[in-house]
């Protein structure tokens, strides 16, 4: 990890059950920085997260609730968490099954505030 975000991402991946964490450009869905478990590919996670975040922003915007602050997609085998940040960036985490997400959410929200 050589990007300026390295230490931040590594601190999240140390949390139990986290498969990977990324900083993603929301506009083009590209990886800005990543810290992933072996075998995981950052590009599809980035693209899918950015598309989903864009859709959700349209949804909250169209319903008069402004921009989303945090997204949590819960599946039977894991979860995708997205915290929009400044400068059109997203902080994205992929978690495994049965991971306590409260601490992760708080950490992501805190870090998203620092992302520029």
Partner 1 sequence: MTEDIRALSAQYAADPSSLVFLRLAEALRRRRQLDAALKIALQGLSRYPHLPEAHDLYARILTDKHDYANAFDEWDTVLRLSPDHLGAHKGIGFLYYRAGEPDHALYHLRLAAELDPGDAGLRAAVERVAGGEEIWEAPMPEAPPEREEEARAVTVAAGDPFAGLEGAEERLLLVDQDGFRLGGGLLSSDGVDVSEAAAAVLAGTAREATRAARMLELGEWGHLTVEAAGVGVCLLRPTPDTSLLCTMDAGLPAGQLSFFAERAAKAARAWLERVR
Is residue 43 a contact point for partner 1 (CB under 8 A)? no
| Site residue total, partner 1 (CB under 8 A) | 32
34: which residues sit within 8 A by CB, 6+ positions away? 9, 20, 21, 22, 23, 42, 46
Query: How far apart are alpha carbons 7 and 26 in whole angstroms?
Result: 21
From 1, 7, 30, 59, residue interacting with partner 1 (rule: CB under 8 A): 59
Q: How far is the CB of 81 from partner 1 (least distance, A)?
A: 10
CB of 71 or CB of 104, closer to partner 1: 71
């Amino acid at each position: 990890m050589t990007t300026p975000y390295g230490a931040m991402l590594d601190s999240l991946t140390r949390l139990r059950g986290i498969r990977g964490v990324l900083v993603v450009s929301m506009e083009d869905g590209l990886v800005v920085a990543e810290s992933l478990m072996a075998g995981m590919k950052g590009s599809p996670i980035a693209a899918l997260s950015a598309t989903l975040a864009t859709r959700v922003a349209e949804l909250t915007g169209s319903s008069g609730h402004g921009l989303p602050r945090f997204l949590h997609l819960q599946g039977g085998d894991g979860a995708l968490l997205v915290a929009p940040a400044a400068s059109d960036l997203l902080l994205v985490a992929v978690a495994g099954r049965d991971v306590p997400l409260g601490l992760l959410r708080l950490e992501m929200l805190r870090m998203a505030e620092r992302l520029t």
